[in-house]
Amino acid sequence: MPCVYVENQNVVGLDPNDPIGVSFGKPVGDDPTGEDHPELLKMKWHHGHNATIVNGISRIGFMSGGHAARWKDEDMANATTSQSSMLIESHR
């Protein structure tokens, strides 16, 4: 947590009107959790991964806000590869 990309010490795509809150002890905000709403999950949670649901997956911690900036797990490989390629090209 939080489930966002950070670039140059800024959250990518963050709406300033939707600030991020994070907690590892207790829920923040009103986002559903895997423990309370298993019907919203793409896969069943296990071993502590039962907190805030982001992109259909229960996470280890609790998060609120930052909805526009949250990542999609299935896009992570492409996003990481794209950023890595740009970094390599810029330092050639």
The residues spanned by each domain of the chain are: 6-90
Span 19-35, mean pLDDT? 95
Using only the alpha carbons of the chain, give its radius of gyration.
15
pLDDT of residue 48: 85
Q: For residue 81, is pLDDT > 90?
A: yes
Angstrom distance (rounded) from CA 41 to CA 55: 8
Span 52-59, mean pLDDT? 95
pTM of the model: 0.84
Q: For residue 38, is pLDDT > 90?
A: yes
pLDDT of residue 68: 97
Angstrom distance (rounded) from CA 14 to CA 16: 6
pLDDT of residue 47: 86
